[in-house]
Amino acid sequence: MFDKVLQDIYTESKLQPKIGEIANYIPELANVNPDKFGIYLTSISGEEFGIGDVHERFSIQSVSKALSVALAYSLLGEKIWERVGVEPSGNPFNSLVQLEYEKGIPRNPFINAGALVIADMLITELKNPKEDFLGFIRNCSGIADINFDYKVAQSEKDTGFRNAALANFLKSFGNINNDVDEVLDFYFHQCSIAMSCSELTKTFFFFANQGLTSSGELILNQSQVKRMNALMQTCGFYDESGEFTYRVGLPGKSGVGGGIVALLPKQFIVSTWSPRLNSNGNSELGMYALEQLTTKTGMSIF
């Protein structure tokens, strides 16, 4: 069934006007062809369907935040919510404003401020933070050669003044325990990880499979997975989380590399890649394709 639906969606998507701009505030990301496009779906029963540029790796950027939170949650349990909230922010992903009156507790772990606090937790917990995080992703996906894109990480380090401001601001409230530069270095590397649509669906398998990877390893318990999916539903697209929920009706996570991963618990994981972004930093065509998927199949959580 998915074969035909994805084929139709791909054809229709290709006919859409080319709206949106590639992220160029990270110079290295601007080198990507803005018209790349792919959709890949992996079902829990093991079927796979892909069309377009689904095996080419791209910078997953903030899609990585779902994975860093999952690792911190698995290591620390409910304690993580003492330092980061679970409310939608209604503000852009890189906003500083709420931190002041919320005394350094970021609204949720998917905005940059929240992801920096999660990065700080991982640095404290892991022996070799960057390597161990990569190991976690390789383990979830079963793909041994997933790696950082060091050029992208360096490019973001060179230009990431706003993230540096956020990390310093958090530190001033006492919500960063490690060295600010170390936290930023970890964060820029996690965002630089390169994966394809096909690989993303395999990595996110456990979110749709009650915490179990495709090889049967338990990453999070059932309650934790429920909460992670709830967070992706309410906060995964920043100040456009309501719009994504309204149009697509699936929990998901986006990144400024143009990737989106979304999932229907116990059914499937789907990933799209199209680098043209709307003004909220989410992939314009990716959102369109996913809206078509849940509309045509009737398969959403609502």
- Cα separation, 222 vs 99, in Å, equals 31
191 contacts ligand GLN (rule: CB under 6 A): yes
Site mask for ligand GLN (CB under 6 A), range 66-105, x = bound: ---------------------------xx-----------
Reported as half-sphere exposure (CB side, CA atoms, 13 A), residue 182 has a value of 13
Task: Residue 140: name the closest of 197, 206, 187 by CA.
Answer: 206
Nearest to 278 by CA among 7, 67, 8, 16: 16
User: Per rule CB under 6 A, is residue 255 in the interface with ligand GLN?
Assistant: yes
Query: Should residue 140 be labelled a site residue for ligand GLN when binding is judged by CB under 6 A?
Result: no
Does residue number 114 form part of the binding site for ligand GLN (CB under 6 A)? Answer: no
Residue nearest to ligand GLN (CB): 62
- Note whether 190 binds ligand GLN by CB under 6 A: no
Cα–Cα distance measured from residue 101 to residue 55, given in angstroms and rounded to the nearest whole number: 44
- Which lies closer to ligand GLN via its Cβ, residue 65 or residue 202? 65
225 is in an annotated binding site: no
What b/e readout covers 269-282, taking b as 16+ CB neighbours within 10 angstroms? bbbbbbbbbbebbb
Establish if 281 lies at the interface with ligand GLN (CB under 6 A): yes
Give the other-Cβ count within 10 Å of 97's Cβ: 10
Q: Which residues bind to ligand GLN, rule: CB under 6 A?
A: 61-62, 93-94, 112, 156, 163, 191, 255-256, 281
Binding site for substrate: which residues?
A: 62, 112, 156, 163, 187, 238, 256
